[in-house]
Amino acid sequence: MSEESYIRTGLANLMKGVGGKLYLTSTELIHKSHAINVQRGTVTLDLADIETVERVRNKLLGVPLLKNGLKITTNDGEELRYVVNKASQRGEYIEQAINNEKPNVL
């Protein structure tokens, strides 16, 4: 996929200690790890498979401090957590893309 087809991109850490970038397209949410990570790979979610997008607090030494996390829950109950900048804004972009992906029901 070319950079031109991304709606939004930005740095994001998958809460398994995997740094990388989060890419939003009109149909998918993609996390690609940095090349320097021990754990490498790509996690791809179809927007149609995302049930909820929530802003969450991340913990520092076990204490919930920073509200810079996004929790993505899929239709089958899988949860993925990301640490991102501007979590509220990024969550809104994902929700907008999901709403554009789902057909209007009359």
CATH of the domain at 21: 2.30.29.30
* Residues 22-33: tens digit of each pLDDT: 999 999 999 988
Q: What is the pLDDT of residue 48?
A: 94
In a domain, 9, yes or no: yes
What is this structure's pTM?
0.78
Give the list of residues 6+ apart from residue 104 with CB closer than 8 angstroms, or none. Answer: none
Domain count, the chain: 1
Closest-CA residue to 80 (of 70, 90, 89, 95): 70
Start-to-end C-alpha separation, the chain: 34
Q: Which residues pair with 67 in a beta bridge?
A: none
In a domain, 106, yes or no: no
How far is it, in rounded angstroms, from Cα 20 to Cα 35?
Answer: 8
- Domain of residue 63: give its range: 3-101
Which structure tokens are listed for 104? 């209007």
pLDDT at 99 over 60: yes
